[in-house]
Amino acid sequence: MKSFNLLAVSLIALVLALLLPLLALGTSALGVVVFVLLLGVSFLAAYRDERRRTWLSALIAVAAAVAYPFVFSSTQATTIVFFALLYVAIASSWNIIGGFTGYISLGHAAFFGLGAYTIALVADRLNLPGGYGLFAVALLGGVVAGIFAVPMGFIALRLRTIHSFVIVTIAYLFMYQLLGYNLQGITNGSSGLGVPQPNWSGAFFNTPFYFAALALAVLTVALAYWIRHSRFGLGLLAIRDDEDKAAGVGVDTWKHKFAAYVISAVPVGIAGALYAYFSSYIYPQTVFDPMIDLTIVLSAFLGGMGTLLGPILGAMILQPAQQLLTYYTGAAGWDLVLFGVLFLVVILLMPSGIVPTVVERMRRVRVLEAVRKADETEGVEPNTAAGGGAR
Amino acid sequence: MSEILQIEGVFAGYGGGDILRGMDLRLEQGTITCIVGPNGAGKSTVMRVVSGVLHPRRGEVRFMGQRIDQMTPKQILQSGIVQVPQNRSLFPAMTVEENVRLGGYTLQDRALVEQRLAEVGEQFPIVRERAKDKAGSLSGGQQKLVEFARGLMLDPKLVLLDEPSMGLEPRILDQVFGTMIEMCKAGRTILLVEQNARQGLESSDRGVVMESGRVLLDGPAKAVLSDERIGDLYLGGHVH
């Protein structure tokens, strides 16, 4: 029942993510037809069995994403989805501590920057050439982010109130930005660092990056899925709901929060490294950027915090929108205006985000339907008491 | 029948003096014992001592022959004593099933968790029927039943029920107490603390009246219920 909603929502996300750039870039209608067909097939096939539905929708989403760069190979089309996938990974990873556990970190860009500087520094110091090998170094960016997250989490999570946790994480971000500017010997300060580029030519240049981002996104979502359905994840949700009660049923709350924080840093670090490699040059203000945190949080809020699909959906909508706005308006900051407006709309109209709102609506419709059917078969007038009880 | 719990000469309090002053209580296996008494008599403190939240200053608590008065709440939980607290203790934003699963959180064996979940679902239909609904969307009485179900995930020998009727509408009380009696029939021992003395005693085998931190009267629930002094003092006048 639930997964049917999930399926629908995930497909909407997919279609939005893929069609937005297409429509904007004026690609042929062929693509649209292909994806609409895929959509129809998936709905038909998935309608029968619940568990299969979830897997099938995931499979279709991945298959479509794999096919995408072959169908739409223009640099703009792949760039936009590359960034969207990067943010799917970042937001899903952030969701482990922010959404599942309820500890909102506004400093995850610190891990993004750590990953970015890791790949730049390792490539520079070891004189590594651009090429496929640097993708392995990007993984190292995740490891470094995870290692740095250990003392950071140790300090930030000593605070019992979530508000103080938020403040400390913001402080982390600016701390790292300052270090980026001032540790000139390592980071080259505000002049930034370059990352050696591969000699892939033409439209193919984006393809390896695209697939690296896709792999990261898929693995991160799989990680989040696994955590959400594990005993560990059950403990995290309990902490979010009520930390004292969680401790009361035997959840080791500190260990859980700490593990969630460290785990959630790793994919963000890898994403930062991929970003650095892709964009070829990094500065403290572009990788330790508060905008990254705003994008993460807004993605999660928009889609639905604490749900698996929420951050995916949010990132899939926001990133292409942001990229397109920048593309059309130049760097005039219209994306910031969009973010502001979206934030207000989400908070006013659906404070729990798209996924929970849609799921709840559909559940209500279904319950009402069931009640009506039951009343019909019993030959009773529909009554409000039954409807109230089913709420 | 054997004694499952023995409380002997327990003195305990919260720093500002003792609440329990020489408390003695023995529970027979497979029975329901109801503690009644005025506010401040120490009813809930007995629960806290047995569940390990409060360590007694003097005296002993033994569970199945083993001293438990200095154990941590977690150790006591694992030894087979589960408490269903007074106020609402479910996680409102989590589903009914997740809540019940959390009852077995300390179990490492996943297969055992699944097996217990199935058993509990058998015993409490609401756990199956409303499995995917948020616990916070259930009525007070339904939540209490889910709390019972959660408590049974560890297959406890002794269940401590602290004021299960609190905040519930009267018509659901029969169901709550009925469920309690069924848990007892399944072989569990139940220690109940109840403000709603009449209904509590009516559903119990034994009644214990407490006053000022010790036992004033102890006997078959029916006898306690019909004791005139008790009726006047704690049950709000005429019982019959």
> B77: burial class by Cβ within 10 Å (0-12, 13-18, 19+)?
buried
Contacts 24+ apart (CB under 8 A), B112-117: B113/B153, B116/B152, B116/B153, B116/B155, B117/B153
CB B235 within 8 A of CB B197: yes
Say if B209 falls within a structural domain: yes
The total domain count for chain A is 2
Q: How confident is the model at residue B174 (pLDDT cuts 50, 70, 90)?
A: confident
Say if A374 falls within a structural domain: no
Separation between Cα atoms, residue B45 and residue B160, nearest integer Å: 12
Mean pLDDT of chain A: 82
pLDDT tens readout for residues B33-85: 999 988 888 888 999 999 988 999 999 999 999 999 999 888 898 899 999 98
Q: Could you list the residue range(s) of the whole structural domain that residue A118 is in?
A: 77-352
- Residue from A4, A228, A229, A241 to probe the interface with B (highest B Cβ count within 10 Å): A241
Q: Could you list the residue range(s) of the whole structural domain that residue B192 is in?
A: 30-55+70-234
- The answer to whether residues A52 and A192 belong to one domain is no
CB A268 within 8 A of CB A145: yes
Say if A203 falls within a structural domain: yes
Q: What is the CATH number of the domain that holds B125?
A: 3.40.50.300
Complex ipTM tops 0.95: no
Separation between Cα atoms, residue A364 and residue A21, nearest integer Å: 34
Say if B240 falls within a structural domain: no
> A342: burial class by Cβ within 10 Å (0-12, 13-18, 19+)?
middle
The total domain count for chain B is 1
Give the alpha-carbon dihedral of A257, A261, A267, A269, to 10 degrees: -170
Low-confidence ranges of chain A (pLDDT < 70): 1-54, 330-332, 378-391
pLDDT tens readout for residues B214-231: 898 888 988 888 887 776
- The answer to whether residues A62 and A96 belong to one domain is no
Say if B17 falls within a structural domain: no
Separation between Cα atoms, residue A19 and residue A168, nearest integer Å: 39
Which token pair is A76?
Answer: 């703009």
What's the confidence (pLDDT) of residue A49? 47
Say if B157 falls within a structural domain: yes
Whether residue B107 lies within 8 A of chain A, CB to CB, comes out as no
Residue listed under structure tokens 């930034």:
A192
Contact B92 A241 (CB under 8 A): yes
Say if A25 falls within a structural domain: yes
CB A38 within 8 A of CB A61: no
Say if A307 falls within a structural domain: yes
Q: What is the CATH number of the domain that holds A218?
A: 1.10.3470.10
Across B166-170, average pLDDT: 83
The count of C-alpha atoms lying within 13 angstroms of the C-alpha of B63, restricted to the half-sphere facing its C-beta, is 22
**3 state DSSP class of B95:** strand
Separation between Cα atoms, residue A177 and residue A173, nearest integer Å: 6
Separation between Cα atoms, residue B152 and residue B104, nearest integer Å: 8
Contact A241 B93 (CB under 8 A): yes
pLDDT tens readout for residues A83-116: 989 999 999 999 999 999 999 999 999 999 999 9
- Residue from A6, A228, A249, A307 to probe the interface with B (highest B Cβ count within 10 Å): A249
Whether residue B137 lies within 8 A of chain A, CB to CB, comes out as yes
One-letter amino acid for residue A283 of the chain = Y
Contact B94 A237 (CB under 8 A): yes
Q: How confident is the model at residue B240 (pLDDT cuts 50, 70, 90)?
A: very low
Whether residue B14 lies within 8 A of chain A, CB to CB, comes out as no
Give the alpha-carbon dihedral of A355, A358, A360, A364, to 10 degrees: -160
What's the confidence (pLDDT) of residue A48? 45
Does B237 have pLDDT greater than 50? no
Sheet strands (E) in chain A: 193-194, 281-282
